[in-house]
Structure 1
Amino acid sequence: MFGAGDVQVREVPDARLDRPTDALVKVTHAAICGSDLWRYQKLAPTPDGVRLGHEFLGVVEETGAEVSSVRPGDLVLAPFKWSDGSCEFCRAGLHNSCLNGGFWGGALDGGQGERVRVPQADGTLVPLPMEPDDPRVPAVLALADVLCTGHHAALSARVGPDSTVAVIGDGAVGLCAVLAAARLGAPRIIVLGRHPRRTDLARQYGAVEVVAERGAAAVERVKELTGGHGADAVLECVGTGAALRDALDMTRPGGAVGYVGVPQDGEGVDVRRFYRRNITLSGGVTPARAYIPELLPDVLSGRLDASAVFDRAVGLDGVPDGYKAMAAREALKVLIRP
C-alpha cells in the first residue's frame, strides 16, 4: 500500500530463512481484514509502500535448524501476530504481548503475497490435519484473526448460558462475535447493523433480533428490548469512540463490555458512563495463538463455521480491487488465493 486507496501488486525479494527459528511458508490462502481498511482510508503517501496481510495459511517449504514442531510439506495456520510461545506472557496466554513477537507486514513479509518468512515458527504456526484443497480451509483461515477476535470479545464480556448479548458491528468480526456468543450458550443475541446481507448472516449464526438504529436511538432500542435495563454483555466490534460509548450506555448495571474493535479515532470515554453502574470493560488485542487450539476442533467438525464471511475470492492480481470492494461495502471479506 503506497497511500490511502493505493494498493499495488509488486515483485519483492524472495522470502528466505534468516534465523534458525524461522520457517518459510508458501501461502495458499490469505484474506483482507476490515482493520486493513482503516489504513486504506488514511495511510499517508509512502514511496516504499507497506506490505500487507496478517491472515494466511500455507505449506511449509523450509525450516531453520532449531524448528521442531513443523516440517516441509505441512499445511499450517499463522495467527495475525507471531510469537515465541515460551516467554512469560505467552505462558500466561497473552501471545499478543510476546516479548519476542511482532506483526506481519511492514518490513517483514505480509500474508498477502506468495511466501512469508515466519519468525519463531515453533511458537507461531499451527499444523493442520488437512490438505490445501480441503473445503474447510476458509473456515480454518477465519481463526487467523476474526473468529478468535469474536471469541475474545465474548469471553471478555463474560458471555454465558444466561446472557443477553448485544453485538455492535455487522462486519466479519461482529458476525464472528455472534457465532462465539452462540457457542458459549447465550440464548438471546441482538446484532446492531443495517446491511441486510450481513444481518441475515448474523441471524444464521445465532442472532435473534436486529437493531438498525445508531447512536442514542440504538441504545434506547436495546434497552427497550431488554426490559429497560440493557444487555448483560455488549461486544464492541467497530473501533470508534462513538461505538464504545454506545456499548457502555446499553449495558445493564453489573454487566460487561468486551471491546475488540481496533481503536481508530482516539476519542475518549467518560469513565462516569460505566463507573456509576459497576460495568466491567475488558478486551483489547486478541491472543489468537492461545485460542486456536481450543477452537480448531469445533471448526474442523463443522460446529463452528465462519466461512460465509468470505463472500468474494481473488488472486493476487485482484487484491487492489478486493480492497475497493470492501471499502465500498460491496464485499464483506475477501479471500485471496495466491
Structure 2
Amino acid sequence: MRAAYLYGPGDVRVIDVPDPVIRGSTDAVVRVVRACVCGTDLHPYHSMKPTPHGSSMGHEFVGVVEDTGRDVRTVKKGDLVIAPFVWSDGTCDFCREGLQTSCRHGGYWNAGGGQAEAVRVPFADGTLVPVPAEENSPLIPSLLTLSDVYGTGYHAVRAARVTAETTVTVIGDGAVGLMAVLSATQFGARRIILMGRHKDRTDLGHEFGATDVVAERGEEGIAAVRELTGGDGTHVVVEAVGHMPAYQQAVGIVRPGGVISRVGVPQYKDAAVGFGTLFGPNITLTGGPAPVRAYIDALLPGVLDGSVEPGKVFDRETGLDEIAEAYRAMDTRTALKVLVRP
C-alpha cells in the first residue's frame, strides 16, 4: 500500500510499504477513507533529524473496518469508524477515568500512521468508534474532526471549566483554535475573543461564535485584549499554538483568578510559573493532550444531526500522492487544514 513518510525537514514522500495485517486478537485493520494534515505534523516537518528510513505520518483518520482479530467485539467488517489520535485499551484505570492519552497499554500513531491507505489499529474495541454513516457521506469531514481537532478544542474549554459567566480568549486561528471557539460557544461563554490575523480564518471564527477578533500580537495584542475587557483580561485563555510567544501572551491576558488552558503542543521547555506570573494572581494552568476518545460520544450527535459543522475547518482537499503539497500549503498558511483522500 501507499503511505506518507517524513525523511527530514520539508521532505515528505509517498512510498510503498507492506499492507497492515492482524497481529493480535484485539487488532483491526482499517481502510482509510479520509485523513488529514495536522498543525502538529508541522513540528517534525520543520525540525526532524534526517533519517534514511523515514517516519510514518498522520494521526487523524476515519475509515472502514476490513478485518478484525478474534476478540474484537464492538466493531465489525464494513463499519465506518473514527480513530482517535491515540490508541487505547479502554479497560485500564486511566481509560475508565476518561484519560485515554495516559492509557497504560496505549500509544500514539508514531508507527503505521493515518496518512496511508490502511492502518492496523491495536485495541480496536477501546480505540475505534463506529458511526452510522456511509464512506461517501457529506458528514465525513466533520466526523474526521472528532479524531483530534474538535475534541482538542473541546478539551481546552472543558478543562478550563467555561460557563455562561466566563469570558474567553483563544490564541491561534488554526483548526484547534477555531474548534475552541466553537466549543466555548457551546459552553455558553458570554464573550469570546479570537486572536488571529488571517481574515478567512477569523471570519470562520465569527461564524463559530467569536464576538471579537484581535489581530495584534505580543504586547500590542495583550494591550488590545485588556482594552476590550476593561483592563482585567479574560477568565480563560486557550493557548492553541504551542510556541513561547503565545504562552507569554496568555500570561499577559489572563484575568486574576483565571485559567490558562494549553492545548498547542509546547515547543519550549521553560514556561514562567512564578510569583509574578501565575502564583501571585492565582492563575490555574491546565490543558494537555486531549483524550478525544472520551468526548466522541458527547460530540457525535451534533455532527450527525448537522447542528454543528466542524468540518468547515477543511479548506482544501488533495490525494495522498499530492500530500507533500498539502504540507507546504499548511506551512505557508495558504491552507487552514487539508483533507487527504488515499
Which residue of 1 is the match for residue 334 of structure 2?
330
Q: Which digits, 9 at most, give the CA deviation of each residue in 1:62-96, with x for residues without a partner?
A: 00001000000000000000000000100111000
Tell me the TM-score normalized by structure 1.
0.98
TM-score by length of 2: 0.97
Structure 1 residues 21-56: Cα deviation after superposition (integer angstroms, max 9, x where no partner): 000000000010000011111111010000001000
State whether structure 2 residue 50 is matched by structure 1 residue 33: no
Q: Please, what is the CA RMSD of the aligned residues? A: 0.9
Q: Does the CA-based 8 Å contact 2:181-2:192 persist in structure 1?
A: yes
Give the match for residue 306 of structure 1.
310
Q: Do the aligned residues in 1 keep the contact of 2:30 with 2:65 (CA within 8 Å)?
A: yes
Query: What corresponds to 1:216 in structure 2?
Result: 219
Could you list the per-position Cα deviations for residues 107-156 of structure 1 after superposition, in whole angstroms to 9, with x for gaps in the alignment? Answer: x2110000100000000000010001110110010010000000011112
Does 2:174 match 1:171?
Answer: yes
The answer on whether the counterparts of 1:20 and 1:66 sit within 8 Å (CA) in structure 2 is yes
Are 2:79 and 1:74 equivalent residues in the alignment?
Answer: yes
- Tell me the residue number matched to 2:283: 279
Q: Following superposition, which runs of at least 4 residues in structure 1 exceed 6 angstroms of deviation?
A: none
Q: How does 1:165-204 map to 2 (within 5 A)?
A: 165-204=168-207
- Please state how far the C-alpha of 1:270 moved relative to its aligned partner: 3.8
Task: Tell me the amino acid that sits aligned with residue 11 of structure 1.
Answer: D
1:125 equivalent in structure 2:
128
2:56 partner amino acid: R
Any unmatched runs of 5+ in structure 1? none
Please give the alpha-carbon distance, in whole angstroms, between the structure 1 residues aligned to 2:16 and 2:271: 41
Show the counterpart of 2:256: 253
Contact 1:155 1:258 in 2 (8 A): no
Question: 1:89 aligned to 83, 90, 94, which one?
Answer: 94
Q: Indicate the residue corresponding to 2:325 in structure 1.
A: 321
Distance 2:241 2:319 in 1: 28
Note the residue ranges of structure 2 that are not aligned, 5 or more in a row.
1-5
- Give SS of 1:17's match: coil
> How far does residue 220 in structure 1 lie from its aligned partner after superposition?
1.2
The AA in structure 1 aligned to 2:321 is D
Deviation at 1:180, TM superposition (A): 0.5
| Count, aligned residues | 336
Identity between Structure 1 and Structure 2 (%):
53
Q: Report what 1:237 is aligned to.
A: 240
The 2-side partners of 1:67 and 1:298 are apart by: 28
| Range moving further from structure 2, 262-271 or 246-255 | 262-271
Q: Is the 8 A contact 1:4 1:45 kept in 2?
A: yes
Given candidates 94, 101, 104, the residue that maps to 1:99 is 104
Which residue of structure 1 lines up, in the alignment, with residue 113 of structure 2? 110
Aligned to 1:290: 294
| Structure 1 residue 265, shift from structure 2 partner | 2.6
Q: Which moved more, 1:3-12 or 1:247-256?
A: 247-256
Amino acid at match of 1:35: T
Find the aligned partners of 1:306 and 1:186 in 2 and give their Cα distance: 18
